[in-house]
């Protein structure tokens, strides 16, 4: 995938990006969300899930559960994973092979991510965000 850059100046623009992006996803596909705390990784994942599974879908953050599943969409938060061996235990390889897999804090999984993983890098841009898709 060629690198694409998006400047998002509001939460509404971020959600609109995620809605449009969600419509391009077909399983199996892995999306790695990179960015510091508070950059919008969870909001992008939540909007993707609600777009594909219905606006009334309850989408809690997987910060403490590590993974949430939504009928073919798996949402992982790897922030608290201490060792790569834990990735098998929480089902990441299975999800990568079968689901639309959204991964927050993906660095610990870098050696098992497929070559065609879509990486989204999110950084501060004034009061908004800069997203680089590659």
Domain with 58, as residue range(s), is: 4-133
CATH number, residue 40: 3.40.50.300
What domain count does the chain have?
Answer: 1
Write out pLDDT tens, residues 13-69: 999 999 999 999 999 999 999 999 999 999 999 999 999 999 999 998 888 889 999
Write out pLDDT tens, residues 77-125: 999 999 999 999 999 999 999 999 999 999 999 999 999 999 999 999 9
Cα-based angle 99, 77, 25 (whole degrees, multiple of 5): 30
Tell me the angle at which helices 11-22 and 41-53 cross, rounded to the nearest 10 degrees.
50
**pTM of the shown model:** 0.95
112 within 8 A of 133, measured Cβ to Cβ: no
Distances (CA, A) of 130 to 14, 15, 32, 65: 10, 13, 16, 28
């Amino acid at each position: 995938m060629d690198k694409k850059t998006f400047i998002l100046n509001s939460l509404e623009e971020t959600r609109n990006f995620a809605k449009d992006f969600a419509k391009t996803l077909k399983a199996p596909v892995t999306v790695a969300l990179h960015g510091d705390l508070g950059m919008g990784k969870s909001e992008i994942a939540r909007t993707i899930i609600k777009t594909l599974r219905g606006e009334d879908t309850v989408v809690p953050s997987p910060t403490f559960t590590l993974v949430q599943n939504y009928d073919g969409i798996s949402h992982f938060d790897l922030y608290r994973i201490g060792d790569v061996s834990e990735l098998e235990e929480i089902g990441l390889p299975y999800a990568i092979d079968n689901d639309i897999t959204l991964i927050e804090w993906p660095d610990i999984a870098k050696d098992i991510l497929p070559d065609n993983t879509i990486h989204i890098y999110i950084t501060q841009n004034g009061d908004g965000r800069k997203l680089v898709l590659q």
